[in-house]
Amino acid sequence: MQIAQETKTAVLIPCYNEELTIGKVVDDFKEQLPLAAIYVFDNSSTDASAAIAARHGARVIREPRQGKGFVIDCMFDTIDADLYVMVDGDDTYPADYVHKLLEPLHKGQADMVVGARLSQHSEKSFRSLHVFGNNLVRRLVNLLCGTNLTDIMSGYRAFTRRVVDRTPLVSAGFEVETEMTIQVLYLQMKIVEVNIPYSQRPPGSVSKLRTFSDGFRVLWQIFCLFRAVKPLTFFGGMGIIFMILGILAGIPPINDYLNDPKHYVYHVPLAILATGLMILSAGCFFIGILLHALNWRFRELNNVLTRRSSTKKHYHD
């Protein structure tokens, strides 16, 4: 399937105190995509970001809930287009690569194209802990989703209306990119990566990312999504751990039973512990199977409910 040529493209820019760069980002994308509508989503910036963005021709939308996740939720709720480009307002992503990002969407080869940074970034662009965090998140998501993606948290993406229509997002902050990636993969939509160079913020421009608290929120998000999208693996894994502990705790009492002529069990506390652990293990398996069945049913419902969504009429065979 290919997307029709007369597509409506929207450029979405989350922005919080980016007065040094927002004007240039708007100009660059206007130059690359003259027909696209450019929206800057401002979150009560205390500097002149909103005024500068408006002066450069962007439509400024204000979101009172503070956080990049809320802003993206607001974008998905309010902007109607066929193709969406999302890019940070800090001028770290190259606007001229936008065509490379849109190409797989135009050709119908992907639902989401991610500008993957890690292969070409300049040394100063990342603090070393961020590299560690990015690698950890990448490994976890690839393990969880069976993919081989290289950049999960890139702020430069292009995607179709289908992604906007179908992807639920509940993150408040920077964990939203991870959530978006996992949800898109869970809904069996296709992600393609395009390598992009990544530059550093200009002097005086301040990152909004807090290494530890935001890093923790991303990991927590992965944990919650793992539990939600792979309940059988999650609870089954816990069940296996409890079962192994139960068997280990049960060995001395069983030994007592087998070796004592009167079959007397001397390790009574261990016998009770082993029983408890085995019941716990069975409970975990039961919860896993139940949630897996529920997930399956929700997926079927989701599929049917979105079948006649607005998405379809924007494609032709």
Ligand X SMILES: Nc1nc2c(ncn2[C@@H]2O[C@H](COP(=O)(O)OP(=O)(O)OP(=O)(O)O)[C@@H](O)[C@H]2O)c(=O)[nH]1
Contacts with ligand X by CB under 6 A lie at: 14-16, 18, 41-43, 66-68, 71, 88-90, 92, 155, 174, 201, 207-209
For ligand X, give the closer residue by CB, 127 or 316: 127
Minimum Å gap between C-beta 232 and ligand X is 33
Closer residue to ligand X in complex, CB, 39/186: 39
- Pick one of 42, 90, 91, 179: the residue that binds Mg ion (CB under 5 A): 90
Least separation in angstroms between residue 16's CB and ligand X is: 3
16 binds, among ligand X, Mg ion, none (CB under 5 to 8 A by kind): ligand X
Interaction between residue 91 and Mg ion (CB under 5 A): no
Helix axes 176-186, 68-78, angle to 10 degrees: 50
93 binds, options ligand X, Mg ion, none, Cβ within 5 to 8 A by partner type: none
Please identify, among the stretches 76-84, 85-93, 111-119, 299-307, the one whose residues bind Mg ion according to the rule CB under 5 A. 85-93
Stretch of 84-92, 96-104, 128-136, 185-193 lying at the interface with Mg ion (CB under 5 A): 84-92
Nearest distance from residue 75's CB to ligand X, in Å? Answer: 10
Instruction: Pick between residue 90 and residue 177 the one whose CB is nearest to Mg ion.
Output: 90
- Cα(251)–Cα(271) distance, rounded to whole angstroms? 9
**Residue 155 or 250: which CB sits closer to Mg ion?**
155
SS3 sequence, the chain?
CEECCCCCEEEEEEECCCCCCHHHHHHHHHHHCCCCEEEEEECCCCCCHHHHHHHCCCEEEECCCCCHHHHHHHHHHHCCCCEEEECCCCCCCCHHHHHHHHHHHHCCCCCEEEEECCCCCCHHHCCHHHHHHHHHHHHHHHHHHCCCCCCCCCCCEEEEHHHHHHCCCCCCCCCHHHHHHHHHHHCCCCEEEEECCCCCCCCCCCCCCCHHHHHHHHHHHHHHHHHHHCHHHHHHHHHHHHHHHHHHHHHHHHHHHHHCCCCCCCCHHHHHHHHHHHHHHHHHHHHHHHHHHHHHHHHHHHHHHCCCCHHHHHEEC
Cβ closest to Mg ion, residue 75 vs residue 187: 75
Q: Which does 208 bind (CB under 5 to 8 A by kind): Mg ion, ligand X, none?
A: ligand X
Taking the complex as a whole, the smallest distance from the CB of residue 126 to Mg ion amounts, in Å, to 10
Q: Which stretch binds Mg ion (CB under 5 A): 89-97, 175-183, 210-218, 241-249?
A: 89-97
Among 63, 73, 88, 179, binds Mg ion (CB under 5 A): 88
Cβ nearer to ligand X, comparing 90 with 151: 90
Count of residues of this chain found to bind Mg ion when the rule CB under 5 A is applied: 3
Residues that bind Mg ion (CB under 5 A): 88, 90, 92
